[in-house]
């Protein structure tokens, strides 16, 4: 491979690593491509921005979203000519990750940076759709909160009702027990009275 030999002959030129990475990338040798881009980045040469953007794109393709976002963010923060491309790619990445707030922010910033972008109409429609989605999500979240509040109120009401029923049951049981206790005392009293009458009768018989 030409560019591999070129990197061996002149390992200090990041351009060779850039094109070696592109060659691997196009050949679907993604691990080799990332290694080539990363090696080129260590040289801090004139193709650093392109190496960073390509590695970010490669990492996105490999679902390494955190790594890709880091690469894009470095370009965006640096304010280099490729910043707008990195910003658009980061917006697409955030959309794929369902980070809709971040995606809307990045798409909006991109349109400010590139007001004449041929993709403007499509991006504006996408921003509108995402805005509606976010509003809908907010409404659903509010509805879920209301439902949770109502469920909690229902649970508390049921607990209060159970406590009231338990108190009523306890009071009724106490009343029944007291009634039985009073009934027992009456029976004892009558029995004692009968014994007194019997004893009086026996005494009278003896006297006769």
pLDDT in tens, the chain (208 residues): 788 888 988 999 999 999 999 999 999 999 999 999 999 999 999 999 999 999 999 999 999 999 999 999 999 999 999 999 999 999 999 988 988 899 999 999 999 999 999 999 999 998 888 888 777 766 656 656 655 665 676 577 768 877 877 787 777 777 777 877 776 655 555 444 444 444 454 454 445 5
Q: Is position 48 within any domain? A: yes
Tokens coding 50: 């392109």
Q: How many domains does the chain have?
A: 1
What whole-number distance in Å separates Cα of residue 160 and Cα of residue 194? Answer: 52
- Angle subtended by helix axes 120-207 and 100-113, to nearest 10: 160
In a domain, 14, yes or no: yes
Report pLDDT for 144.
Answer: 61
Q: Which domain holds residue 69?
A: 2-117
* Both structure tokens of 54: 């390509």
Residue 207 DSSP code? H
Q: Which long-range contacts (CB under 8 A, 24 or more apart) does 145-154 make?
A: none
CATH number at residue 76: 1.25.40.10
Is 91 part of any domain? yes
Is residue 36 included in any domain, yes or no? yes
Distance of CA 81 to the CA centre of its chain: 36
State the DSSP string of 126-150.
HHHHHHHHHHHHHHHHHHHHHHHHH
Return d(Cα 29, Cα 25) in angstroms, integer.
6
Residue ranges with strand state E in the chain: none
In a domain, 44, yes or no: yes
89's tokens: 């790619």
- Tokens representing 120 are 């403007």
Q: What is the pTM of this model?
A: 0.66
């Amino acid at each position: 491979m030409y560019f591999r030999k070129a990197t061996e002959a002149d390992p200090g030129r990041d351009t060779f690593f850039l094109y070696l990475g592109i060659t691997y990338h196009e050949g679907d040798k993604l691990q080799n491509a990332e290694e080539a881009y990363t090696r080129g980045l260590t040289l801090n040469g004139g193709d650093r921005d392109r190496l960073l953007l390509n590695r970010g794109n490669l990492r996105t393709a490999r679902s390494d979203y955190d790594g890709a976002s880091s690469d894009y963010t470095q370009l965006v923060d640096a304010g280099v000519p490729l910043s707008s491309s990195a910003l658009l790619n980061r917006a697409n990445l955030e959309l794929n990750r369902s980070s809709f707030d971040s995606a809307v922010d990045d798409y909006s910033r991109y349109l400010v940076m590139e007001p004449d972008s041929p993709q403007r109409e499509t991006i504006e429609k996408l921003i509108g759709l995402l805005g509606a989605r976010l509003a809908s999500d907010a409404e659903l979240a509010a509805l879920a909160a209301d439902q949770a509040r109502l469920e909690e109120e229902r649970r508390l009401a049921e607990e209060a009702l159970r406590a009231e029923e338990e108190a009523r049951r306890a009071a009724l049981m106490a009343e029944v027990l007291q009634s039985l206790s009073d009934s027992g005392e009456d029976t004892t009293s009558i029995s004692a009275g009968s014994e007194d009458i019997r004893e009086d009768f026996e005494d009278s018989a003896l006297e006769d």
